[in-house]
């Protein structure tokens, strides 16, 4: 697990770094408005992905270790195939809906809408394939497509478009580059699945209606929780683009992109620890659950604290990389850095609740919180402006992880927060 955690950490660091450089490149060479338009479209894609995935990538990681533990081989061999087909069909439909929204409600060109629509099924299929790999506890392989291939290919496509193919950056070339990057990443995940035999393409599969209902029930709850988390992270950018301007969307997009780097280690450990949490829960081992989340929190804080501190001090310089127009956003960045630092300190509560069957209560909490956040952002941005929106966003990002950490303690008697580090000291 330690090697996997270190590899996933570096892979996520590479992904965050490459996407940061790509954002700087777009803002510098395309302008703040173009970066704002792309940030809005990317936010829509990220927010739509959990809906059309329907939580099936999480269902694989949740149930396959349990089925292996119980010896239910007929479910192990076929669940991935069912989930892959289900998510693929749903994501294609979702892509068409996204294209219609972009054309008829946001007045984007047909080419841009098609490129964005293609991103959706590619992203969803990649997520399901990576879930199949992660369910076999091969968490280091699972992140290769999304964390290594995707950002690398995206950066190369942007460079090729600007310096070789077009000589300029357009919204179509940027969104098209992202679609190509997702396509290559999805193919790399498929190759790893085939080589590692993580999916038994021809094995027996005899699920009962109750089995499928169980997967869909979990997926339905995870859908809302993942959608809510995506909205909590992306709604400031989307609403700034809708209610204010592309200029403001670019500004808050840069702030969110930098601030989220504080919690990238938490994202990495969530990916690593999920199958182990599922296995520990199947064995009803509360001691192991506490040990896993305590180590995960310690690992994420080792990264979050220096990143948050360094970014807070050098906020003016970091924002200046995007362009001279971003200097007014320094207070926004510092506010969001503190918020994401608090989120990291609350630990991997989302993964813990998903993998231990407490997902329904979590879904209700996050969904209500996301709804309140969207309403609060809309009111704050229209009445106060960008500063009001950032204050609401910061309170939102910092608030819900604290509620989820309390829920973990109340329902599981497991503390995922920074206070659980005393468990490691006592050991």
pLDDT digits over 225-263, tens only? 777 777 777 788 888 887 887 778 878 888 888 888 887
At 281 the pLDDT is: 67
Residues 6+ apart with CB under 8 A from 94: 48, 51, 52, 120, 121, 124
How far apart are the C-alpha atoms of 226 and 399, rounded to whole Å?
A: 16
How far apart are the C-alpha atoms of 304 and 69, rounded to whole Å?
A: 35
How far apart are the C-alpha atoms of 367 and 227, rounded to whole Å?
A: 8
Each residue's pLDDT tens digit, 278-316: 667 666 667 777 788 888 888 888 888 898 899 999 999
Q: What is the DSSP string of 323-346?
A: -GGGGGGHHHHHHHHHHHHHHHHT
| pTM for the whole structure | 0.72
Q: What is the DSSP string of 71-129?
A: T-HHHHHHHHHHHHHHHHHHHHHHHHHHHHHHHHTS---HHHHHHHHHHHHHHHHHHHH
Query: Which of the four pLDDT bands, split at 50, 70 and 90, describes residue 27?
Result: confident
At 260 the pLDDT is: 82
Nearest to 234 by CA among 256, 212, 206, 264: 256
Nearest to 190 by CA among 84, 57, 63: 84
Is the pLDDT confidence value at 220 over 70?
yes
Each residue's pLDDT tens digit, 384-398: 888 998 999 999 989
> Mean pLDDT score of the chain, rounded to an integer?
80
CB atoms within 10 A of CB 348: 31
How far apart are the C-alpha atoms of 92 and 175, rounded to whole Å?
A: 17
At 4 the pLDDT is: 60
């Amino acid at each position: 697990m330690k090697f996997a955690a270190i590899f996933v950490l570096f892979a996520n660091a590479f992904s965050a770094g490459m996407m940061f450089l790509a954002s700087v490149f777009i803002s510098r060479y395309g302008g703040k408005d173009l970066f704002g338009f792309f940030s809005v479209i990317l936010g829509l894609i990220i927010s739509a992905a959990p809906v059309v995935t329907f939580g099936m990538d999480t269902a694989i990681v949740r149930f396959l270790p349990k089925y292996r533990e119980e010896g239910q081989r007929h479910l192990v061999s076929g669940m991935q195939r069912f989930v892959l087909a289900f998510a693929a069909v749903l994501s294609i439909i979702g892509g068409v809906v996204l294209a219609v929204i972009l054309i008829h409600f946001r007045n984007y060109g047909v080419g841009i809408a098609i490129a964005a629509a293609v991103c959706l099924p590619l992203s969803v299929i990649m997520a399901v394939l990576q879930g199949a790999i992660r369910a076999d506890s091969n968490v280091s392989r699972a992140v290769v497509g999304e964390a290594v291939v995707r950002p690398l290919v995206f950066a190369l496509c942007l460079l090729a478009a600007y310096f070789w193919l077009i000589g300029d950056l357009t919204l179509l070339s940027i969104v098209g580059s992202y679609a190509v990057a997702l396509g290559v990443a999805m193919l790399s995940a498929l190759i790893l699945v085939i080589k590692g035999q993580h999916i038994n393409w021809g094995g027996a599969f005899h699920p009962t209606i109750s089995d499928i209902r169980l997967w869909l029930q979990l997926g339905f709850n995870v859908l809302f929780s993942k959608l809510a988390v995506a909205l909590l992270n992306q709604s400031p950018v989307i609403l700034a683009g809708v209610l204010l301007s592309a200029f403001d969307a670019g500004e808050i997009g840069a702030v969110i992109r930098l601030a989220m780097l504080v919690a990238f280690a938490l994202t990495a450990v969530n990916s690593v620890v999920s199958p182990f949490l599922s296995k520990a829960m199947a064995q009803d081992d509360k001691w192991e659950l506490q040990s896993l989340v305590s180590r995960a929190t310690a690992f994420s804080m080792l990264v979050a604290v220096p990143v948050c501190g360094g970014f807070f001090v050098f906020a003016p310089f970091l924002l200046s990389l995007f362009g001279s127009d971003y200097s007014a956003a320094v207070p926004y960045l510092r506010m969001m850095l503190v918020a994401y630092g608090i989120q990291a300190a609350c630990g991997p509560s989302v993964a813990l609740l998903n993998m231990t069957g407490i997902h329904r209560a979590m879904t209700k909490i996050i969904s209500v919180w996301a709804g309140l956040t969207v309403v609060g952002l809309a009111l704050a941005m229209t009445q106060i402006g960008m500063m009001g929106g950032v204050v609401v966003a910061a309170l939102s990002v910092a608030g819900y992880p604290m509620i989820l950490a309390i829920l973990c303690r109340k329902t599981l008697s497991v503390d995922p927060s920074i206070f659980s580090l005393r468990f490691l000291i006592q050991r």
